[in-house]
Chain A
Amino acid sequence: MEIIDILLAASFWEAAIRIATPLIFGVLGALVCERAGVLNLGIEGIFTAGAMAGWMAVWLGAGLWGGVLVAALAGAFFGLIHAILTVPLGLSQHVSGIGVTLLATSLSYFTYRTALPDVSSPPRIEPFRPLDIPFLSDLPFIGQALFSQTAMTMLALVLVFVTGWVLYRTPLGLAIRAVGDNPSSVEAQGLSVYGLRIGAVVVGSSLMALGGAFLTMSAFDAFFFGMINGRGWVCIALTVFASWRPGKALIGALLFGAFDAFQVRLQTEVGAFLPSQVFLMMPYILSIIALIVVARKADYPKALLVPWFKGQR
Chain B
Amino acid sequence: MSSAAQTSQETSQDLLLALAGITKRFGPLIANDAIDLMVHKGEIVALLGENGAGKTTLMNILFGHYVADEGTVTVATRDGNLEQLEPGAPQAALDAGIGMVHQHFTLAENLTGLDNIVLGTEPIFRLRRDRTKARAKLAELMAGSGLNVDLDQPVHKLTVGEKQRVEILKALYRDARLLVLDEPTAVLTPQEADSLFAVLRKLAQNGLAVIIIAHKLAEVLAVSHRIAVLRGGKKVGEMLTSDADHRSIAELMVGREVPVSRRVAREPGKPVITLSDVTIDRGDSRRSLHGVSITAHEGEILGIAGVSGNGQAALAQLIAGLDKPDQGSVEFFGEKVVKFDAHQFAQNGIARIPEDRHHDGMVGSMTVAENIAIEDVRNAGYQKFGFLDFDAIRKRAEHAITDYDVRCPGPDAPARLLSGGNIQKLILARVLEKSPKLILANQPSRGLDVGAQSEVHRRLLEARQNGAAVILISEDLDELLTISDQIAVIHAGHITPAMTTDTIDRSELGLMMAGQKKTHHASTNAHSGETA
User: Chain A interface (Cβ within 8 Å of chain B)?
Assistant: 169-172, 174-175, 177-179, 181-182, 184-191, 299, 301-302, 311, 313
Contacts and interface: CB of A to CB of B under 8 A. Distances in A.
7 contacts: A171-B126, A174-B119, A177-B110, A181-B108, A181-B109, A184-B104, A187-B106
Nearest to A188: B106
B128 A175 contact: no
A169 B129 contact: yes
A119 B119 CA distance: 55
Interface in B95-148: 100, 102, 104, 106-111, 115-116, 118-129
Given A171-B124, A172-B125, A178-B111, A191 B119 contact: yes
A191 to B, nearest CB: 5
Contacts of B120: 175, 186, 189-191
A221 to B, nearest CB: 37
Nearest to A179: B108
Given A177-B108, A302-B109, A188 B100 contact: yes
A199 B127 CA distance: 17
A108 B228 CA distance: 64
B90 interface: yes
A301 B127 CA distance: 23
A173 to B, nearest CB: 9
B91 interface: yes
Contact of A174 (B60, B66, B129): B129
Given A170-B126, A178-B111, A189 B119 contact: yes
Contacts of B106: 182, 184-185, 187-188
B116 A185 contact: yes
Contacts of B128: 169-170
Contact of B116 (A170, A172, A178): A178
B57 to A, nearest CB: 11
Contacts of B121: 189
A70 B469 CA distance: 72
Contacts of A191: 119-120, 124
Contacts of A171: 118-119, 122-126, 129
Contact of B110 (A169, A190, A299): A299
A243 to B, nearest CB: 11
Interface in B365-420: none
A240 to B, nearest CB: 16
A175 B110 contact: no
A175 B109 contact: no
A178 B127 CA distance: 18
B110 A170 contact: no
Nearest to B100: A188
B91 A181 contact: no
A301 B129 contact: no
A172 B129 CA distance: 10
Given A170-B128, A301-B110, A185 B104 contact: no
A188 B102 contact: yes
The CB with the most chain B CB atoms within 10 A, among A177, A187, A190, is that of: A190
A189 B122 CA distance: 11
B221 interface: no
Contacts of B66: 311
B65 interface: yes
A185 B129 contact: no
A190 B100 CA distance: 12
A175 B100 contact: no
Interface of B: 60, 65-66, 90-91, 94, 100, 102, 104, 106-111, 115-116, 118-129, 170
A190 B104 contact: no
A302 B129 CA distance: 24
A261 to B, nearest CB: 35
The 4 tightest CB contacts between A and B, nearest first, are A189-B120, A178-B108, A188-B106, A181-B108
Nearest to A312: B65
B91 A190 contact: yes
A302 B105 CA distance: 14
A18 B100 CA distance: 52
Contacts of B122: 171
Nearest to A181: B108
Nearest to B60: A311
Contacts of B116: 178, 185
A301 B111 CA distance: 11
Contacts of A189: 94, 119-121, 170
- Interface centre among B65, B111, B124, B127, by most A CB within 10 Å? B124
A122 B461 CA distance: 82
Contacts of A179: 108
Contacts of A178: 108, 110-111, 115-116, 119
Contacts of B108: 177-179, 181-182, 185-186
A34 B129 CA distance: 23
Contacts of A177: 108, 110-111
Nearest to B128: A169
Contacts of A174: 111, 115, 118-119, 129
Nearest to A303: B108
Nearest to A310: B65
A175 B123 CA distance: 11
A178 B126 CA distance: 17
Nearest to A172: B124
A281 B394 CA distance: 55
Given A181-B111, A189-B119, 12 more contacts: A169-B128, A170-B127, A170-B128, A174-B115, A181-B108, A181-B109, A182-B109, A185-B107, A185-B116, A189-B170, A190-B90, A302-B110
A70 B150 CA distance: 48
Contacts of A186: 108, 119-120
A179 B120 CA distance: 11
A34 to B, nearest CB: 13
Contacts of B115: 174, 178
A304 to B, nearest CB: 11
Contacts of A184: 102, 104, 106
A181 B110 contact: yes
Most buried by A among B94, B108, B110, B123: B108
A174 B90 CA distance: 20
Contacts of B109: 181-182, 302
Contact of A187 (B90, B104, B110): B90
Nearest to A301: B110
B107 A175 contact: no
A190 B170 CA distance: 12
A300 to B, nearest CB: 10
Of the candidates A178, A185, A313, the one having the most CB atoms from chain B within 10 angstroms of its own CB is A185
B119 A175 contact: yes
A177 B110 CA distance: 8
Nearest to B110: A181
Nearest to A178: B108
A200 to B, nearest CB: 12
